[in-house]
């Protein structure tokens, strides 16, 4: 490539996105994105769309929290806004059981760090006010572990991932909320992987004062849009009293563009940043799809199809260690142990987008975001079995197919 040449137009192929995220974006969402007219961020329909999104988000989250809106960007953008109220020296207990809760804890340690803490270890500060409780990969954070840590440390804040996507484990949200109430701790939850998949309403967990999710997993709105967040009045009052070190991710400021000022809904938003009419239109359509599917039905559909995938990979000789319903995390049979990354790379080279775990031990992750059909699960299992077989494993694809057929046949019989 010389200085005067221009790269050819970028072509990105269609793949089978069968990982922990992003999920396959619905054609309706892409059409809404592409069909939106060019309109600025203060145009009436863009502002109305944001207000409607806010109302839909309250239903998706199951909350009356006024401070419920979207933070432009990815899951980490929403989490950054969530952790914005943590100030240097604040006492925090973080529960870590995988990659993502590990990065949550890094964000928290960065926020709680004093200038000296940062100077001592700029990229991985270790403020003494933050306690990280590490639960081994493959295990869930339990009510007992939470209770013990909060009783001992009595922190201002506690932080946990609801569903830890790195290891595919569901953590005890009820236990977390209850322990936060018992010890008067403000709970913050990373709900990036659970929102839009699990049937839960955040108002049922009053120990949690702030929640953050992402556009690309359960909400299924990758075309870079909004990370849903929600804050209770207690969080907002604490923030109003103490402030935080960010303008763009200060939830009080960010909420203004969504028509939330001084704890009340207003008729139209006021400027916070240049929102994209395309993104608002796409997000709006994604939320409509979520509500049309219904939280309870959607959760039941994920559980149903995950069970089929789980049983099929077990029939292929794999051991499943996860308990999330959007994802299976598995160990390959002994004959392929240690070759997980190789298998994943081979699959990805053919447009079959499965993933390894990002932290040790290396396992394989296969996800079903927006793959809620017998045909989709069958294709995923067929392609996975082909990769195992190509690496020399003795797989019984017929057995796996029989398991899948029985699973779906018994569901039809039960209807
Ligand atoms: C995916 C994920 C994130 C990060 O989300 P991005 O959209 O990649 O920024 C954070 N936490 C959890 C639990 C996740 O699953």
Q: What is the pLDDT of residues 14-45, one digit of tens each?
A: 999 999 999 989 999 999 999 999 999 999 99
71 and 204 in a single domain? The answer is yes
Residue 187 domain flag: yes
Residue 311 domain flag: yes
Decide: 404 in ligand 1 pocket, CB within 6 A.
no
Residue 216: DSSP 8-state: S
Across the chain, mean pLDDT equals: 96
Decide: 231 in ligand 1 pocket, CB within 6 A.
no
Q: Whose CA is nearest to atom 9 of ligand 1?
A: 75
Q: Whose CA is nearest to atom 14 of ligand 1?
A: 192
How far is CA 168 from its chain centroid? 11
67 and 188 in a single domain? The answer is yes
Domain range for 188 is 27-291
Tokens of 120: 């001592």
Which CATH number characterizes residue 316's domain?
3.90.1150.10
Q: Whose CA is nearest to atom 6 of ligand 1?
A: 75
121 and 142 in a single domain? The answer is yes
Residue 134 domain flag: yes
145 and 205 in a single domain? The answer is yes
**Whether pLDDT at 414 is above 80:** no
223 and 360 in a single domain? The answer is no
Residue 11 domain flag: no
Choice from 192, 194, 357, 367 to test ligand 1 binding pocket (greatest atom count within 8 A of CB): 192
Instruction: Report how far ligand 1's centroid is from the alpha carbon of 275 (Å).
Output: 22
The percentage of the chain sitting over the pLDDT mark of 70, rounded to a whole number, equals 99
Return the closest-CA partner of residue 199 out of 299, 62, 56: 299
Which CATH number characterizes residue 258's domain?
3.40.640.10
Q: Whose CA is nearest to atom 8 of ligand 1?
A: 75
pLDDT in the model for residue 2: 80
Across-strand partners of 187? Answer: 158, 208
49 and 32 in a single domain? The answer is yes
Decide: 170 in ligand 1 pocket, CB within 6 A.
no
Tokens of 268: 């139209």
274 and 317 in a single domain? The answer is no
Instruction: Report how far ligand 1's centroid is from the alpha carbon of 76 (Å).
Output: 6
- The mean pLDDT of 288-293, rounded to a whole number, is 98
Decide: 76 in ligand 1 pocket, CB within 6 A.
yes
Residue 285 domain flag: yes
Instruction: Report how far ligand 1's centroid is from the alpha carbon of 165 (Å).
Output: 8
Residue 4 domain flag: no
Decide: 192 in ligand 1 pocket, CB within 6 A.
yes
Decide: 196 in ligand 1 pocket, CB within 6 A.
no
pLDDT tens digits along 152-211: 999 999 999 999 999 999 999 999 999 999 999 999 999 999 999 999 999 999 999 999
254 and 361 in a single domain? The answer is no
End-to-end Cα separation, the chain, in angstroms: 61
- The mean pLDDT of 300-325, rounded to a whole number, is 98
Q: Whose CA is nearest to atom 5 of ligand 1?
A: 75
Instruction: Report how far ligand 1's centroid is from the alpha carbon of 365 (Å).
Output: 15
144 and 229 in a single domain? The answer is yes
Computed on alpha carbons and rounded to an integer, the radius of gyration of the chain in Å comes to: 22
The residue among 238, 271, 291 that closes a domain is: 291
Instruction: Report how far ligand 1's centroid is from the alpha carbon of 193 (Å).
Output: 7
State how far the Cα of 415 lies from the Cα of 311, in Å rounded to an integer: 21
Residue 10 domain flag: no
Instruction: Give the list of residues 6+ apart from residue 166 with CB closer than 8 angstroms, or none.
Output: 98, 99, 100, 101, 102, 137, 357, 358, 359
Are 60 and 220 in contact, with CB atoms under 8 Å apart?
Answer: no
What domain count does the chain have?
Answer: 2
Higher-pLDDT residue of 412 and 261 is: 261
The residue among 245, 264, 291 that closes a domain is: 291
pLDDT tens digits along 202-258: 999 999 999 999 999 999 998 889 999 999 999 999 999 999 999 999 999 999 999
In order of 36, 54, 192, 392, the CA distances from 83 in angstroms are 33, 21, 14, 47
Q: Which atom of ligand 1 is nearest to the CA of 191?
A: 13
The percentage of the chain sitting over the pLDDT mark of 90, rounded to a whole number, equals 96
**Whether pLDDT at 415 is above 80:** no
pLDDT in the model for residue 251: 98
282 and 335 in a single domain? The answer is no
306 and 358 in a single domain? The answer is yes
Are 221 and 215 in contact, with CB atoms under 8 Å apart?
Answer: yes
| E strand intervals along 244-392 | 260-261, 264-265, 319-320, 327-331, 352-353, 355-356, 364-367
State how far the Cα of 201 lies from the Cα of 180, in Å rounded to an integer: 17
Choice from 21, 169, 213, 228 to test ligand 1 binding pocket (greatest atom count within 8 A of CB): 21
Decide: 74 in ligand 1 pocket, CB within 6 A.
yes
Decide: 165 in ligand 1 pocket, CB within 6 A.
yes
State how far the Cα of 48 lies from the Cα of 261, in Å rounded to an integer: 16
**Whether pLDDT at 101 is above 80:** yes
Instruction: Report how far ligand 1's centroid is from the alpha carbon of 381 (Å).
Output: 25
The residue among 291, 310, 331 that closes a domain is: 291
pLDDT in the model for residue 223: 85
Residue 18 domain flag: no
271 and 390 in a single domain? The answer is no
Instruction: Report how far ligand 1's centroid is from the alpha carbon of 200 (Å).
Output: 19
């Amino acid at each position: 490539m010389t200085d005067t040449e221009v790269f050819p137009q970028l072509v990105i192929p269609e793949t089978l996105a069968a990982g922990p995220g992003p999920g396959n974006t619905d054609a309706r969402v892409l059409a809404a994105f592409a069909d939106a007219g060019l309109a600025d961020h203060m145009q009436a329909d863009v502002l109305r769309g944001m207000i409607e999104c806010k109302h839909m988000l309250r239903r998706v989250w199951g909350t009356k929290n006024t401070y419920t809106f979207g933070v432009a960007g990815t899951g980490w953008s929403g989490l950054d806004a969530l952790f914005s109220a943590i100030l240097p020296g604040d006492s925090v207990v973080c529960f870590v059981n995988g990659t993502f809760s590990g990065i949550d804890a890094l964000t928290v340690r960065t926020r709680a760090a004093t200038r000296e803490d940062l100077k001592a270890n700029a990229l991985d500060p270790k403020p003494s006010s933050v306690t990280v409780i590490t639960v081994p990969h493959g295990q869930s954070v339990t009510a007992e572990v939470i209770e013990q840590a909060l009783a001992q440390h009595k922190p201002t804040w506690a932080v946990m991932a609801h569903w830890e996507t790195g290891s595919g484990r569901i953590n005890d949200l009820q236990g977390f909320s209850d322990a936060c109430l018992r010890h008067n701790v403000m709970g913050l939850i990373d709900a990036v992987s659970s929102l839009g998949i699990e049937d839960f309403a955040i108002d049922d967990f009053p120990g949690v004062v702030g929640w953050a999710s992402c556009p690309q997993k359960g909400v299924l709105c990758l075309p870079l849009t909004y990370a849903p967040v929600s804050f209770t009045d207690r969080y907002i009052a604490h923030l109003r009293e103490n402030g935080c070190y960010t303008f763009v991710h200060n939830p009080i400021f960010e909420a203004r563009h969504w028509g939330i000022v001084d704890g009340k809904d207003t008729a139209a938003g006021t400027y916070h940043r240049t929102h994209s009419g395309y993104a608002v239109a796409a997000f709006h359509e994604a939320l409509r799809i979520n509500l049309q599917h219904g939280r309870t039905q959607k959760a039941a559909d994920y559980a149903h199809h995950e069970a089929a995938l789980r049983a099929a990979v077990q029939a292929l000789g794999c051991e499943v260690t996860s308990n999330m319903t959007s994802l299976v995390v598995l160990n390959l049979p002994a004959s392929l142990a240690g070759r997980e990354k190789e298998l994943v790379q081979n699959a990805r080279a053919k447009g079959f987008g499965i993933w390894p775990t990002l932290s040790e031990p290396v396992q394989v992750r296969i996800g079903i975001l927006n793959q809620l059909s017998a045909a989709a699960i069958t294709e995923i299992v067929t392609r996975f079995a082909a990769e195992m077989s190509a690496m020399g494993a003795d797989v019984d694809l017929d057995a796996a197919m029989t398991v899948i057929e029985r699973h779906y046949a018994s569901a039809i019989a039960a209807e």
